[in-house]
Amino acid sequence: MSPMVLADRVCKSFGALQVLKGISLEVERGEVTCLIGPSGSGKSTFLRCVNHLESVTAGRLYVDDDLIGYREKGGKLYELSAKDAAAQRRDIGMVFQHFNLFPHRTALDNIIEAPIQVKGVVRARAVERGKDLLDQVGLADKASAYPAQLSGGQQQRVAIARALAMDPKLMLFDEPTSALDPELVGDVLAVMRNLAKDGMTMVVVTHEMGFAREVADQLVFMDAGKVVEKGDPREVLNSPQHERTQSFLSKLL
Ligand code: ADP
Ligand code: MG
């Protein structure tokens, strides 16, 4: 079977600044890939390319065999219309460091918004599913709470439930626990661990090496816009082959 994500020499520049310098990697279906690397190495930019928040400037990026952002015809690439791009994005869930919940909506309303507005799910169905999802992330009793009434960890779990409400085939996490107080990190990681166990395909940018070691099927180390090293997480963490990986990991300990 083809991989869920296939990046083939993906490049991204902002003006003269080349941020991604030929990223090639694969994320297999039902597997978890953790992406690590120093600040500024291009991890967020890569996720944003996968999720259409940025467009690739060279190379090819496929999700579920769909070329992201472009249509290929007669050897030429044509940018997708906004409508076609939106259709591709619908199946990709993304969770950000800073939750990005609607502040004036309850937890449940945050979750049901997109299924109703984007997918046309009838309200009663969306509410039923929303409540199930809140239960799944351990927040069954918080349906009518507003974001400001929730801890950071609870807000992040609502954000995960919100992404899941669209029934994504792929979930992207960009440092989902980096903004949280240490005692709140565990609950969020536990939700992600369960998702992985249930077979969700996930790409996770994280500094949580324990999570990477235990949950990831693949660990990718990026530096300065390149994949320096990738492989089995235990192998990469226990015996990194490249000096840059060694140096990065030694600073984390
Ligand atoms: P990471 O997530 O690994 O910390 P980023 O992908 O956020 O790295 O950033 C990689 C580089 O790209 C940084 O030098 C950053 O300043 C630059 N960059 C990111 N987004 C933009 C943008 N929209 N315009 C210009 N430069 C950007
Ligand atoms: Mg980042």
Domain boundaries, the chain: 106-167
Phi and psi, residue 223, nearest 5°: -150, 135
Report helix, strand or coil for 77.
Answer: strand
Cα four-point dihedral sign 197, 198, 200, 201: positive
Specify the pTM.
0.96
Q: How far is the CA of 48 from the centre of ligand 2 (A)?
A: 10
Q: What is the ipTM of this complex?
A: 0.98
CA distance 106 to 120: 20
* Cβ–ligand 1 contact at 53 (below 6 Å): no
Q: Counting ligands in written order, which one lies closest to the CA of residue 37?
A: 1
Confidence of residue 253 (pLDDT cuts 50, 70, 90): low
Longest dimension (CA), the chain: 55
pLDDT surpassing 90 at residue 1: no
* Cβ–ligand 1 contact at 206 (below 6 Å): no
Q: Counting ligands in written order, which one lies closest to the CA of residue 48?
A: 1
Confidence of residue 252 (pLDDT cuts 50, 70, 90): confident
Q: How far is the CA of 41 from the centre of ligand 1 (A)?
A: 8
Residue nearest to atom 19 of ligand 1 (CA): 45
Confidence of residue 77 (pLDDT cuts 50, 70, 90): confident
